[in-house]
Structure 1
Amino acid sequence: MPTWNPAKLSSSLLLNIRNHPIIFTSAIAIIPLAALAMPSYRGFIDLGPGGLPHNVFGWLLQGALRPLALNSTVDQSAFQKPGVSASYEPHGTTRFLQEPLAQRRGDRPVIPNYVAPQRQATDKGDKDLIDRMNGHLRDLASRRSEALAVKASGLEARDNPALWLLGSPLPKYLAKSTKGEIVHVHTEASSHMILSLTDAKEAMAKGWAEFHPLSGVMGWIPLPYVMVYAPRDEEEFGVWTKFVDAAIAFTTAGQH
């Protein structure tokens, strides 16, 4: 039976280091990198399923998208860029919110710094609220079955319902990006929806919403594709329904 010989083990280890310095250096470098990356990966997993794979590959992919993402999701200067409204005409600059929009109370919720999925970490809603929000989308679709339908989201996890615009042709800003998906609710009661430029700007200015990190980036997602924060009470649920109405009015405005 081999005996424990620390001196021999040390000599063998040093010999291997001399013979394979690159491998040894790389292994040493990986240790602190892994320690730094682990909290980010765990945070990604804690957000729950989204449109990207809910595993290390999804985490790596969202990280790879970071250089393309917006520096700030609350900076409204993108609305002022020359020609930005051209892709959303003739209704992009129309206000579809039917009532004056009040300033949202308090601070914005905390949004973890991931490209996707975009979720809020504070002021989250419960399952009853989420069911109510999705029920509202189904009610709207049943009332306008010629124009709207609720089916599985193409942007979120497969079991996540979404409100879709039916009919053909779709507006160009939808056909090239979401393929007709206009509203979906997340598992913490925030939601994504497509508003007119005017409504999206007002919603952001008054603290109700913010851009998706990829809003307006390379045509993947429309610029006025915004995250609306989870309703915190009955009054805010009512505001959320007005945003949904405005999203529907905008995206169906060109249909006859």
Structure 2
Amino acid sequence: MNGYPVLSRLAEVSGFEQLQKLVRSHRTMVFCTASAAVLLPFAVRDYQLYLSYGPGGLPYNAFGWLLANTLRVFSREQLSPKPYDDNKLPFADESGYLPTGFLPRRESPRPKLGSHPVPQRQLEQLPSADVRQELIDRFKQLGEDATEKGLVEVKQSLYERQHKALFVPSARHQHAVAQQTRGEISHVHAGLDGSVHVVLHPVDCKTIFEQGWGQRHAFSGADLNPILPVNIPVNYLLIYAPRNQAEVDTVMSIVRAGVQFMTGTREALG
């Protein structure tokens, strides 16, 4: 047929027309195939990012990844201190638990966080293994000391399900905010991250924001029931991972303020 250009051209036209007919008759299949070709590389990178956080509150697999992406629609703004100016918040008319003027300004810009609302994790400014272990050990010691005083009990986090958390004991009075979290006060993300979730007094929350030490969870202030059995108060904050001894001291002071607020005591903690 190469010797007959006219016939070759007719064959090309005939083949193109057949292709047009195939596309028209299988539009849905063709659209899905083309979309998959475009989106697959993005999906693979996004899934790898999800796995890089380490295990968290959602299943550590493709189902958890799909659920995390689905939950993006419930994400809220996380960086403005304005919500803590609301005088209708519980205890807004009382003083906070962080000593006035105590919290230093954090010396770096806020770290970049993962794009998924859960698990909430830092992607940069991560601590060394030694600093992270120091934080974990100090957090554990605080739990033991506060348990001896009858202020907390230590058990598996309801939010993360991978880490031990401090709780207001069930036998102790739980105020409105503690009831929202089912008593959970704080937990450390003991993987590569080393950040901390803690519930704080509204005044202390505002101080945290102003001094650059943390931000809200994407679901703070949102009621996800009945989608998830989670009700996260606006006081629920992520505290950025400490990178040195001085920052471990600061983060632990924040956790102690959380324990005091959630247990309703101004007793000094170790």
For normalisation by structure 2, the TM-score amounts to 0.80
**Does the 8 Å CA contact 1:92/1:198 hold for their aligned counterparts?**
no
Confirm whether residue 97 of structure 1 aligns to residue 98 of structure 2.
Answer: yes
Q: Which moved more, 1:20-29 or 1:196-205?
A: 20-29
Aligned partner of 1:206 in structure 2 is 211
Cα shift at 1:18: 4.9
**Alignment counterpart, residue 123 of structure 1, candidates 122, 125, 134:** 125
Q: Residue 112 of structure 1: SS of its match in structure 2?
A: coil
Aligned partner of 1:4 in structure 2 is none
Q: Determine the C-alpha separation between the residues in 1 that align with 2:146 and 2:114.
A: 36
Aligned partner of 2:237 in structure 1 is 226
- Count of residue correspondences: 242
Q: Which moved more, 1:45-54 or 1:58-67?
A: 58-67
Alignment-mate amino acid for residue 154 of structure 2: V
Aligned partner of 1:162 in structure 2 is 165
**Does the 8 Å CA contact 2:128/2:243 hold for their aligned counterparts?**
no
* Alpha carbons of structure 1 residues 214 and 92: separation in structure 2 relative to 1, 3 Å: farther
Q: Determine the C-alpha separation between the residues in 2 that align with 1:225 and 1:246.
A: 13
**Does the 8 Å CA contact 2:242/2:248 hold for their aligned counterparts?**
yes
Aligned partner of 1:138 in structure 2 is 140
Identity of aligned residues (%): 27
CA offsets 1:30-81 (integer angstroms, 9 cap, x no match): 221223332222211111111011122222212222222113x211222234
**Does the 8 Å CA contact 2:202/2:235 hold for their aligned counterparts?**
yes
Aligned partner of 1:78 in structure 2 is 83
**Does the 8 Å CA contact 1:138/1:149 hold for their aligned counterparts?**
no
Alignment-mate amino acid for residue 161 of structure 1: K
* Alpha carbons of structure 1 residues 37 and 236: separation in structure 2 relative to 1, 3 Å: same
CA offsets 1:207-246 (integer angstroms, 9 cap, x no match): 1111111111127211111111111111111111110110
Q: Residue 226 of structure 1: SS of its match in structure 2?
A: strand
Confirm whether residue 190 of structure 1 aligns to residue 192 of structure 2.
Answer: no
Gaps of 5+ in 2: 1-11, 225-230
* Alpha carbons of structure 1 residues 213 and 48: separation in structure 2 relative to 1, 3 Å: same
Q: Determine the C-alpha separation between the residues in 2 that align with 1:92 and 1:156.
A: 31
Q: Which moved more, 1:33-42 or 1:225-234?
A: 33-42
**Does the 8 Å CA contact 1:110/1:120 hold for their aligned counterparts?**
yes
**Does the 8 Å CA contact 1:92/1:196 hold for their aligned counterparts?**
no
Q: Residue 252 of structure 2: SS of its match in structure 1?
A: helix
Gaps of 5+ in 1: 1-6
* Alpha carbons of structure 1 residues 130 and 153: separation in structure 2 relative to 1, 3 Å: farther
Q: Residue 51 of structure 2: SS of its match in structure 1?
A: helix
Q: Determine the C-alpha separation between the residues in 1 that align with 2:66 and 2:86.
A: 31
Confirm whether residue 35 of structure 1 aligns to residue 46 of structure 2.
Answer: no
For normalisation by structure 1, the TM-score amounts to 0.84
Confirm whether residue 245 of structure 1 aligns to residue 265 of structure 2.
Answer: no
Aligned partner of 2:9 in structure 1 is none
Aligned partner of 2:56 in structure 1 is 50
**Alignment counterpart, residue 61 of structure 1, candidates 49, 62, 67:** 67
Aligned partner of 1:106 in structure 2 is 108
Cα shift at 1:170: 2.2
Q: Residue 216 of structure 1: SS of its match in structure 2?
A: coil
**Does the 8 Å CA contact 2:214/2:238 hold for their aligned counterparts?**
yes
Q: What is the aligned-residue RMSD (CA, Å)?
A: 2.7
